[in-house]
Structure 1
Amino acid sequence: MKKKIISLLSALALTAQIVPCALAGNDVKVYVNDTEMITDAPIIIENDRTLVPVRAILEYLDYNVDWDGDAQKVTIAKDETTLTFTIGNSVMECSTIYQGNPIPLPKILETAPKLINDTTYIPLSDVTTAFELNITWDADNKEVHIDKYEKGYLTPLIKFGIISNDDLNKSEYITTQEALNTIQKFYTMPSESYFNRWYSSDKFESLNNIDYSSKKLLIHLHSRNLLTLDDIAELKLEDNLTNLQALTYAIRMTGSTYDCSSQIKEIRLSEPSDIYSTAYERNFIDTEDTANAQSPISRVDFYELLNKILFFNYSRGGGAGIYTTSLYKTLQKQIS
């Protein structure tokens, strides 16, 4: 049993890169949701990827596991996420339900599932990613803990590094500076040479009296069509973000980019009634009532709004063709 535990720890080290490669002593334990995991099946490492016995780990997580012997498929389901692995197939079928609609997210596996001695093995890293599992190493107690993120409905934002659990414990309201820094994490930061081309532009004279990092932030978001020059001139970064500001940014983040005239129209929406109407059509809010437009949006409500726009489908493309995507799909590709 001790050898099996050490083998598992070595496997997790390769997958999560957080567990030391060498472990001293024989008192190391592995816990799944605070329950020590005991399994008779060995852990396999192939192509620097860890394969684990599917039932051993997932039954500890209380997931539903179904085996189709004829099709050589194993299906794992929990809440609104379903994974389907096929023995010998390097494509994992993944789908999640959001607002009643299935979102398919197939993923290419570096190591295909295997059937060894009547035991089905699957890649651990892909399971942890799909189900937002967290693997941590407790060096003081020599323990490995596998668990789920606590903030379930905001897990995707945590998974992509948009927010952290610590962010949820901060003040009730979020400042404009904090909000824009959070929004920026949805996008890849341009190179320093990119910013240097903009610094001398007369367009950004209003930024001359702010710090360097804030200037970069605003230029970056302007280049993403999330801030207009008028926005930048009027921004007070230290003020709390209002509901109207939050919805304005949400609309611009999810605007279709294949139709230039439509995109420009959405960027230039200025009347609160128009912004609320568009946000309502996209299911970002439950009512078109603008009564709270100038009130500060709570931190949690802002994060919930970001979670909604994460899965919103919008169109992109041009002469080569038009396709539908979402911020979730874009971020998923970046970490795959």
Structure 2
Amino acid sequence: MRQRDFRLRSRSLEILDGCTLFNLISIFLAEGRVPHSRAQLANACWSSQGEEHSLSYVAKLLDRVGIGTSGYYLASRRTHQLTPPLFCFLTRHPGRRSLAIVLRRYKDGVVVHEGAGEAMAMSRREFAAVWDGVALVTEGATDQLIADEQRGMDERSLEQFRASFGLKAGFLDASECDEIVGQASRHFQRSVVGRALEVSPVRTSQSAYLNSSLIPMQASIFDRARQLVSDAELEFEDLQVVRYGPGESYQCHFDVDMHSPPGQSSAFGLRKWTILVYLTDDFVGGETRFPLFGESIAPRKGAALYFRNYTDEENPNPFALHTGTPVRSGAKFAMNVWSK
């Protein structure tokens, strides 16, 4: 069917976090062997976080990163007419429709992925019972020159991020870590996110801001941070201590506003550098994971993870996308040292 009809029929909606949407689209494009910029895709997915995602919305998002799509409708829902990979909505639970990808078709059914966990096989009858017949397929890159340019930007951004990324053991000693946790324990409140500083299921930790009157060693911490990143001119926000209990996490995010003009401060401050100091390690889970960069850091008490949030051109670096994975048991304490 034509695009006009596709938009009319594509009324299924789901609110996804940026990471799940990024994973779904990455799988979709990899299966279709469509050249694309993972960095540009991450930016687009993160900026859509919290929005309702129809198939039309996904089509517009892909268009923003130079990938054409078309939609069609199969009233018969016959799986042998499908040409994977394709996006669709499935109603596998009463009252809840989920965005999914049909990866492959086989004689008796299809293989489906919903962006998290593993792909699953469904028989023809099972799939037809939960699919509404609407599908979105890719037409490939709309402009090869733009696609090549974006991949070049990816390579430069990746090299710059790799050069800034590091882990310093012993940034704080054990007694300093314990002192900071003790001071913060009286000031924790639910963590907030975004320009509006709102409570969100994206970030489920508790936070405490500590100034020099609460932490006399703050000036010493800032001096060590300047030495760590070799920038004597840096100024810093007040220290932020975070606590994650069992099941709590911080989904994929950037520490800066990805949509502020280059070199200009946002609601978060400029945050040229992030230095994340682990204050405890007697817990399970809670790794700091970088899905684009391909690294996962296991917290060690007193260690400082550091990375630059911008490229040399003062644009936010998409490879700084990271997540604090769920704590499975115990309590994780860490401290954000953000440059202004």
Instruction: Please confirm whether the aligned pair reaches a TM-score higher than 0.5, indicating the same fold.
Output: no
The answer to which structure has the higher helix fraction is 1
**TM-score band, normalised by the shorter chain?**
under 0.3
Q: Structure 1 length normalisation: TM-score?
A: 0.28
Bigger relative contact order, structure 1 or 2 (CA pairs below 8 A, ≥6 apart) = 2
Q: Larger C-alpha radius of gyration, 1 or 2?
A: 1
The answer to which structure has the higher strand fraction is 2
